[in-house]
């Protein structure tokens, strides 16, 4: 059972992945930090090109799962198969304050045209004017967009987002959500978005999985047309369903127990 992180062999310039193929495959993943299992024999497959929201109560192990997929957790039991080209965006931008914005974005790029590629990625996120800025002079939203550019510039197959909007103000969050939705549609990306915000999941994802007691306790398809609206009856129904799986009623009160 102790198989280490396995990776697909990287195939550069491969044609657009046809949907239906698994980009991520997790079998029997178990993880504990000395106490009870945080992840307990968890199975999950993510279709290539899909946008999945990972919901769960605080402390349910969402970040632990995402860190495993990112290759940051070194001792997971189980089998995890992920694409080689992965990128992560965390709740905090985690930029290097001593490197200018474009150098943050191009960090780790092995090819020579690093600045041009960083510049292109930053332009896509509306930051072409901030190329030579120091990170500590950016606003929270700008810094998070730089973090997105840094992830995007690597042309990842799998984008892992760990509550990337949680620290932003409400207006900036709306703009960033729209931006991520757009990026997913324009790039050949599999996205796993960790969030505790059911509405965010319903706005962006085409599938929501809920982490309960260390496993995927609910798996809900979100077959809504885009752009999506909060007032849509189907949206409202799905919200109630997801809130129910989280054990919370629509007034935010704990349901059962």
Ligand X SMILES: Nc1ncnc2c1ncn2[C@@H]1O[C@H](COP(=O)(O)OP(=O)(O)O)[C@@H](O)[C@H]1O
Q: Is 34 left (phi over 0), alpha (psi -120 to 50) or beta?
A: left
42 within 8 A of 215, measured Cβ to Cβ = yes
Query: Could you say whether residue 221 binds another protein (CB under 8 A)?
Result: no
Cβ neighbours of residue 154 under 8 Å, at least 6 residues apart?
Answer: 85, 87, 108, 109
Work out what residue 38 binds among another protein, Mg ion, ligand X, none; the CB cut-off runs from 5 to 8 Å by kind.
Answer: ligand X
Indicate the residue whose CB is closest to ligand X.
63
Least gap, CB of 75 to another protein (angstroms): 15
Query: Could you say whether residue 42 binds ligand X (CB under 6 A)?
Result: no
Q: Closest Cα partner for 177 from 37, 131, 191?
A: 191
Site for another protein in 136-155 (CB under 8 A): 136-137, 150, 154
Q: Using the 8-state DSSP alphabet, how is residue 157 labeled?
A: S
Least gap, CB of 22 to another protein (angstroms): 22
Please compute Rg for the chain using Cα positions.
Answer: 18
What is the spatial distance between Cα 193 and Cα 190, in angstroms, rounded to a whole number? Answer: 10
Q: Pick between residue 14 and residue 254 the one whose CB is nearest to ligand X.
A: 254
Query: Could you say whether residue 36 binds ligand X (CB under 6 A)?
Result: no
Site for ligand X in 47-76 (CB under 6 A): 56, 58-64
Instruction: Provide the binding-site residues for ligand X, judged by CB under 6 A.
Output: 33, 38, 56, 58-64
Residues of the shown chain interacting with Mg ion in the complex, contacts defined by CB under 5 A: 63
């Amino acid at each position: 059972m102790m198989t280490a992180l396995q990776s697909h062999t990287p195939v550069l310039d491969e044609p657009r992945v046809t949907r239906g193929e698994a980009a991520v495959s997790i079998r029997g993943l178990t993880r504990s930090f000395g106490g009870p299992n945080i992840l307990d024999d968890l199975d999950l497959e993510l279709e290539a090109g899909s946008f999945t929201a990972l919901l769960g109560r605080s402390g349910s192990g969402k970040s632990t799962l995402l860190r495993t997929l990112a290759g940051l957790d070194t001792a997971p039991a189980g089998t995890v198969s992920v694409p080689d080209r992965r990128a992560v965006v965390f709740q905090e931008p985690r930029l290097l304050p001593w490197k200018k914005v474009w150098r943050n974005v191009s960090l780790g790029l092995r090819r020579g045209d690093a600045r041009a590629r960083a510049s292109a990625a930053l332009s896509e996120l509306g930051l072409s004017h901030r190329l030579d800025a120091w990170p500590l002079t950016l606003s929270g939203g700008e810094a998070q967009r730089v973090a997105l550019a840094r992830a995007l510039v690597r042309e990842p197959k799998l984008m892992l987002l760990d509550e990337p909007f949680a620290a932003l103000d409400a207006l900036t969050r709306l703009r960033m959500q729209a931006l991520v939705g757009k990026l997913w549609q324009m790039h050949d990306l599999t996205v796993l978005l960790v969030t505790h915000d059911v509405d965010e999941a319903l706005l962006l994802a085409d599938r929501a999985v809920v982490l309960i007691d260390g496993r995927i306790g609910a798996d809900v398809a979100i077959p809504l047309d885009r752009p999506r609206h909060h007032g849509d009856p189907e949206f409202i129904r799905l919200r109630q369903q997801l809130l129910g799986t989280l054990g919370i009623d629509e007034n935010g009160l704990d349901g059962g127990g």
